[in-house]
Structure formats: structure tokens, C-alpha cells
Amino acid sequence: MKELLDWAESLQCAVGAFSVGNMEMVMGAIRAAEETNTPIILQIAEKRLASSPLHLMAPMMIAAARRANVPVAVHLDHGLTVDCVRKALGYGFTSVMLDGSLLSYEENVAVTKQVVQMAFEAGATTEAELGVVGGNEGDTAEHVITCTDPEVAADFCRRTGVDALAVAIGNAHGNYPVLPELRFDVLEEIDRAVNVPLVLHGGTGITDEMFRTAIGLGVRKINIATASFDAYAAAAKECAGKGADWFALSAACAEAVYRNVIRHINVFSMK
């Protein structure tokens, strides 16, 4: 993933990190990447493994990435346990995130350092999170947003050696009830304080203009999950309403994810 983040830095754009939960989602995302000739990140969060088990998802995601005719990184999103990170690295994921954002600061530093070392030994990239992004990946419980403190971010990056940092600037996972007010002033300070690429979670519902502003202020990876899951579910419902068979349903769901991914790729490429 580090290579893709460096690529994004050189072009002053961002790499889309698209969450997937089954074969159609993987196929839709890869098709969008290939058609636009743009690298992407395929990712899955630890909490999603309850419905999309790692032992099935990992080989499929990695096979799709290897076969793609553009660079594709395979990433563990919101790893919650060191055990899951270890398993993902064992399958050949090229990057992992350990989300210690709800731990105490010192605990977050300690566990992130451990994961950075494990990932380094596997030749993989590490993402961590500081501050608290709203909502919750794969859970109904809401977290109160706590913006990332730029000075603390600098200390965190120095002490952990992490490759990419997920920031909290008013962003949240899931659909926003109202348009979020992202703290671009805080983002600018974080970008000045740290020397690693920044990651924006909670991409669903953020406007194209906000994406462009965030990219202009150092965001190099943007996560999109809910928009793809919602597009998939809407396509499935439409097919069910028409009495479509499985083959038509599978194609329509892959197509819905493809359209969502391509839409975001076009914005993130800053062309």
C-alpha cells in the first residue's frame, strides 16, 4: 500500500480504498480500477468478517489483486486484535490497520508499535488511527467524534513508525444524518505536523468538493464502504422486485458497486 500512497503523493491525488464483502463487490471494484487504469485498495474490516469470513475473502481478494492489470493493495481495515492482523498478514495482505483509537494513548502507541513490527517483517504497510472517527464500522453504537490533536499526532507517528495515519476531523462511518462540517483547519495542522500520508475514513456522503479540499491538504487514502453496500442492496432489491434470477442479480450487484467505485475514483484522481 505504501507504493500506492507514494504514487498518490507524487500526483497530489488520493487512492480509493473500497470495502468489499463478497465476490460481486470485488469484481465491481476491480473492473472500475482497470477501466480507469487507476490503482485501488481492496479492504475489509475485522467486524465484517462475521458475515464475510477471512479464510474465504482473503484468497479471493488477493487473487483478484494479483490478476488485475493495475496495482491493487489488499488491506485489513479496522483491525481490532493483533491476532486478526497476524492472520491477514499470513494470507498475504499488503497492508493492515490496527484501530487503537478507543484505547488509551499509551496503549494505542504500544499496540501500533507491535503491529508496525509485524507488518514490517511481512513486507506490509501499517495504518493507525488517532482521535475518534464517528459512527462505528460494522456496529450500531455511535462514537462521539474527537478530533485528532496535531501535536499528539506528531508524537504518535514518531514513536510508532506507522506508515499512514487515519485522522478524525469531524468525519464518521455510515450515512451522515446532515452534511458533516469537516475541520480542514485541523487537517492542515496535522499535515504540517506529521510526515506520513493521511487517511480519511467515513467517505460515504462527503461531497466531491470536500474530497478535493481534503486531498489538497494531504489526504492520500479515502475509505468508501457504506455507499458500495447501499448501492449493492438497492440493486438487489430492484432485481428481487422484478423477479430476476440469480445470474441477473449477481451481474446487477457487481455493476452497482462498479458504478459507485468509478464515481469515487474519478473524484479522487483530481483530474
CA distances from 34 to 64, 66, 73, 250 (A): 11, 12, 14, 20
Q: Is 131 one of the binding residues for ligand 13P (CB under 6 A)?
A: no
Nearest to residue 128, comparing CAs of 139, 113, 138? 113
CB of 175 to ligand 13P, least distance (A): 7
Residues 137-156 vs ligand 13P: string with x where CB under 6 A?
A: x-------------------
Catalytic residue among 6, 77, 191, 245: 77
Q: How far apart are CA 257 and CA 138, in angstroms?
A: 19
Residues in binding contact with ligand 13P, number by CB under 6 A:
16
Stretch touching ligand 13P by CB under 6 A, among 66-74, 87-95, 218-226, 251-259: 218-226
CB 43 within 8 A of CB 11: no
Place of cell 422484478: 242
User: Does residue 167 interact with ligand 13P by CB under 6 A?
Assistant: no
The nearest distance, CB 173 to ligand 13P, in angstroms, is 4
Candidate segments 46-54, 185-193, 222-230, 243-251, binder of ligand 13P by CB under 6 A:
222-230
Is residue 260 at the binding interface for ligand 13P, with CB under 6 A as the rule? no
Catalytic annotation present for 77:
yes
Q: Which three cell numbers stand for residue 193?
A: 505536523
Three-state secondary-structure class, residue 96: strand
Interaction between residue 173 and ligand 13P (CB under 6 A): yes
- Of 155 and 163, the one with the shorter C-beta distance to ligand 13P is 163
Least separation, in Å, of the C-beta of 199 and ligand 13P?
Answer: 9
The alpha-carbon radius of gyration of the chain (Å, integer) is: 17
Residue 254's nearest CA partner among 269, 233, 232 is: 232
Number of C-beta neighbours around residue 96 at 10 A: 30
CA–CA dist 138, 265 (Å, integer): 24
Least CB distance from residue 151 to ligand 13P, whole Å? 24
- Give the footprint of ligand 13P on this chain (CB under 6 A): 19, 45, 77-78, 137, 173-174, 201-204, 223-227
Question: Which residues have a catalytic role annotated?
Answer: 77
